[in-house]
Amino acid sequence: MDLKGTAILNMTRVILHSDLNNFYASVECLYNPEIRSHPVAVCGSQSTRHGIVLAKNNIAKQFGVKTGEAIWEARSKCPGLVVVRPNYMQYLRFSMLARKIYENYTNLIEAFGIDENWLDVTESTRLFGSGEKIADEIRRRIRYELGVTASVGVSFNKVFAKLGSDMKKPDATTVISPDNYKEKVWGLPASDMIYVGPSTRRKLAAVGINTIGDLACAPPGFLEKHLGQWGRTLWIFANGYDDSPVTRLDFQPCVKGVGNSLTTPRDLCTDEDVRILTYVLADSVAERLRRHHLKGRTVQICIRSSDLAFIERQGQLSHYTCTSSEIAEKALEIFANSWDWSKNIRMLGIRVTNVVAENECGQLSFFDDEKRLRREQLENSIDRIRSRFGHYSVQRAVLLKSGELNANPVEENVIHPVSFFR
């Protein structure tokens, strides 16, 4: 990489990062005015052991309530905490409304989760003014048109734009330019930078790197020695050399796999429990493969035990598939070879990788494929019935054995940020 050339290229770009403040909690307070003056936390269901804080308002923040902590921990800090269940469809609606506002300024919009977006407004500055002016106008429109607030970072690359949106909240614009980035950024803790999580922070601290400036000034070879190739990437980020583009609005990333997992309402302790949940997850994964006209050949399972230990195993099918029965049967085979029941199971997941378009799967044979095609046609019919009458209108008999494990994984999903690297 020509870092000097990259730096010059970056100076010509104007990148915004818009982050909707306390998003879930802000939407809940918008629709429930009576709780706006109280500390509010949006939390998962305790009955299904998803009882953690997903978002909180500013009043709850003042009591020290943190995202990711258990509800009982949050309530011990804030006895008057108002806990509400998440409404993901409402959040998706607001996310799309915010995106419609962004589309007035550029078609280079890249989502980073449900409430964050990068915008490349380099060319738009000719019509709407500076990046800071565009950011201020976007914040004003979000506040008055949607009733929530946003913080916007303005910079010459995506990494610093995101840092800017985090630096001042709520409802603020922060500009990090080629002239002031050392002053504004280098004094921040290294953990403030994207992809420096707790483990990486500890590794950096162990070698005396505590700030983003320390990271920027460290020799790249030294960082690679301690962090591998990731060390050089973080050095590039810290020095403002990131040249990753903001993807187009209509960009469709290549699907590498489809998966689903569930933390169960109670520990799984028998093969029958695993069998039930495996078919629940396989149904969900297969339906999503068919919806996107895909088939896969590699089945992965992931297991988190009752003591939170984690394993992942995989196996390959003899052919590509999008049917739940084949996915489930392979997953159960992998499970039988991987788990000895020395511990109970808290979370189970299934993923299908090695994915291709359904019309790229190869030549049909005269023997096994007739049965496979009939199975696909059957499951496509079930998809149509469920889309009209609901997920539970057609069920496997095995799932009737345990109502508490027979969930709808699609509705249980929590929406996570997508990867920075496309």
Active site residues: 116
Q: Is the dihedral of CA 18, 123, 194, 355 positive or negative?
A: positive
Pair 193, 234: CB distance under 8 Å = yes
How, if at all, do strands 150-155 and 173-175 pair? parallel
CB 108 within 8 A of CB 102: no
Instruction: Say if CB 209 and CB 198 are below 8 A apart.
Output: no
Burial of 26 (0-12, 13-18, 19+ CB in 10 A): buried
Question: φ and ψ at 366, to 5 degrees?
Answer: -90, 0
- Which sign, positive or negative, has the C-alpha torsion 142, 143, 146, 149? positive
Tracing tokens 């005396």 back to the chain, one arrives at 208
CA atoms of 171 and 22, how far apart (whole Å) = 11
| φ and ψ at residue 133, rounded to 5 degrees | -65, -40
Q: With 0-12 CB in 10 A as exposed, 13-18 as middle and 19+ as buried, what is 359?
A: exposed
- The residue type of 23 is F
